[in-house]
């Protein structure tokens, strides 16, 4: 399990990057012990809202396996809309690794970052569970208009997504081990 922390289109955030590397290394060990499953190789990227949209669109295109012009445009539109509303996102990659994108501008303190990175690392572990990647790929392909999924499959995906979110929220207390009082 390799972990890397980088920045994307984020100049002048050297201190933030050093803090993120330290907290991420500690969080990986905590989450790996706490959540059932195995931690994949993880790349954490600190970026801005615009950078998140670019990287999310590229990751969705790679996951869907399509380079059609209309698909690329849909992925970019979807990513821009999503990047406005979220602080971070975990995306599985076709090679079995996980990409975690974090909007550095929405994390003013190490405590906020610790809570977010723990939450997203739980999702990274969940990607290794049975049928999760296939379900995410199917939903991504449906969202990009490549291949439709049945209503039953869409309901199942939404239900499983809610369960996975509840599990990730229930593990956020681990951030207290990284930064005391993070979830207070």
User: Three-state SS for 102?
Assistant: strand
What is the pLDDT averaged over residues 85-92?
96
Residue 163 has pLDDT above 80, yes or no: yes
Nearest to 59 by CA among 70, 48, 43: 43
Q: Is the pTM of this model over 0.85?
A: yes
Percentage above 70 pLDDT, the chain = 99
Phi, psi at 141, each rounded to 5°? -65, -35
Cα 80 to Cα 122: distance, rounded to the nearest angstrom: 24
pLDDT-derived band at 184 (thresholds 50, 70, 90) equals low
User: Three-state SS for 98?
Assistant: strand
Looking at residue 182, what is its pLDDT? Answer: 78
> Do residues 34 and 18 touch, judged by C-beta distance below 8 A?
no
pLDDT in tens, 37-52: 999 999 999 999 999 9
pLDDT-derived band at 12 (thresholds 50, 70, 90) equals confident
Cα 119 to Cα 175: distance, rounded to the nearest angstrom: 9
pLDDT in tens, 65-82: 988 899 999 999 999 999
Residue listed under structure tokens 């990986």: 28
**What is the maximum alpha-carbon separation in the chain?**
48
What is the pLDDT averaged over residues 106-127?
95
Looking at residue 63, what is its pLDDT? Answer: 94
Looking at residue 161, what is its pLDDT? Answer: 97
Looking at residue 181, what is its pLDDT? Answer: 79
């Amino acid at each position: 399990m390799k972990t890397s922390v980088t920045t994307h289109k984020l100049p002048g955030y050297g201190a933030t990057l050093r803090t993120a590397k330290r907290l991420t290394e500690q969080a990986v060990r905590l989450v790996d012990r706490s959540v059932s499953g195995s931690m994949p190789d993880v790349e954490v990227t600190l970026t801005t809202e615009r950078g998140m949209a670019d990287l999310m669109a590229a990751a969705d295109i790679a996951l869907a396996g399509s380079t059609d012009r209309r698909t690329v445009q849909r992925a970019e539109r979807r990513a821009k809309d999503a990047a406005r509303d979220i602080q971070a996102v975990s995306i599985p990659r076709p090679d079995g690794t996980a990409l975690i994108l974090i909007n550095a501008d929405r994390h003013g303190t190490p405590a906020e970052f610790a809570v977010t990175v723990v939450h997203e690392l739980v999702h990274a572990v969940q990607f290794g569970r049975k049928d999760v990647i296939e379900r995410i790929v199917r939903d991504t392909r449906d969202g990009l208009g490549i291949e439709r999924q049945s209503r039953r499959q869409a309901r199942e995906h939404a239900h499983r997504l809610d369960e996975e979110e509840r599990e990730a929220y229930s593990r956020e207390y681990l951030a207290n081990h990284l930064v005391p009082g993070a979830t207070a």
